[in-house]
Amino acid sequence: MENNYNSDNVLFFFDTTSLKLIAAATMLVDHIGAILYPGYRWFRIVGRIAMPVFCFCAAEGFHHTKDRTGYMLRLLVFAIISEYPFDMAFDGYFSLRSDQNVMFTFLFAAAGIRAFESIREKAGSFTGDIAGCLAAAFFAAAADAFNSDYGRFGVILVYLFYFMRSDPLLKLAAAAAYITAAQWGSTQLYCLLAFPLIALYNGKRGKGLKYYFYAFYPLHLLVLYLISKRL
């Protein structure tokens, strides 16, 4: 796909690493509110920035990776690692029957993208598009059935950022319209606060810090859980 990002314009100064750092910081604010100060709504409003940015970065990461199998295996490994801290932080007990952490959501999204592209490549354009869309829809539905965090909402958001990445403006408009339609009247509508940040993406990777972001997710949940037990 053609890259139409404004990588040489000084106004477009956020690379992938910068966006992930912002997403990690706002996710931390969100989870501090959810776990330690549930009565303070502004924590959750600030935290809505995180998910769209992470979805955008997941789409970019999957597009650029040279090892998609390795990418998905990393998601699976850290999803499994994160499940205990996630359950303890939000439920106070560990159970595979409760909600599952967001790493699984990104794994379902990656699986749906890979299934679509693989089917389309083998079956041709029209037939492949139909069958590929059905496969992608299956993984979005699977995220709901598995009770992964954000469910099909998160998966579809990754899809929009990925499949429309050749047209940044149209992609942002479609994703914003989807959020508005899907989350009208809920706190999740504040996800739209993320879009001015994403719009300033310059198409560059940045410093990477790949494993930092993978490790940050379970570690910050574990720390917040331990703090909550002392309050």
Looking at residue 79, its pLDDT comes to: 97
Looking at residue 129, its pLDDT comes to: 84
Task: Judge whether 61 lies within some domain.
Answer: yes
Q: In sequence order, what are the beta bridge partners of 201?
A: 14
**C-beta neighbour count of 149 within 10 angstroms:** 18
Task: Judge whether 216 lies within some domain.
Answer: yes
Task: Judge whether 96 lies within some domain.
Answer: yes
Note every long-range contact of 36-41, with CB atoms under 8 Å and residues 24 or more positions apart, other chains counting.
36/224, 36/227, 36/228, 36/231, 41/187
Max Cα-Cα span within the chain = 59
pLDDT digits (tens, 9 = 90+) for 96-127: 777 999 999 999 999 999 999 999 888 777 78
Task: Judge whether 73 lies within some domain.
Answer: yes
Q: Which domain holds residue 54?
A: 16-230
Looking at residue 1, its pLDDT comes to: 43
Cα distance between residue 2 and residue 86, in whole Å: 38
Looking at residue 3, its pLDDT comes to: 57
Task: Judge whether 69 lies within some domain.
Answer: yes
Looking at residue 96, its pLDDT comes to: 76
Task: Judge whether 138 lies within some domain.
Answer: yes
For 79, list phi and psi in degrees, rounded to 5.
-65, -45
Looking at residue 105, its pLDDT comes to: 98
The structural domain count of the chain equals 1
Q: Quick one: which of 61, 83, 55 has its CA closest to 195?
A: 55
Model-level pTM? 0.92
Task: Judge whether 81 lies within some domain.
Answer: yes
Task: Judge whether 3 lies within some domain.
Answer: no
Q: Exposed e or buried b for every residue in 129-142, given b needs 16+ CB within 10 A?
A: eebbeebbbebbeb
Under a CB-based contact definition with an 8 Å cutoff, are residues 192 and 86 in contact? no
Residue 33 has pLDDT above 70, yes or no: yes
pLDDT digits (tens, 9 = 90+) for 191-203: 999 999 999 999 8
% of the chain with per-residue pLDDT over 90: 77
Burial class (CB in 10 A: 0-12, 13-18, 19+), 10: exposed
For 148, list phi and psi in degrees, rounded to 5.
-75, 150
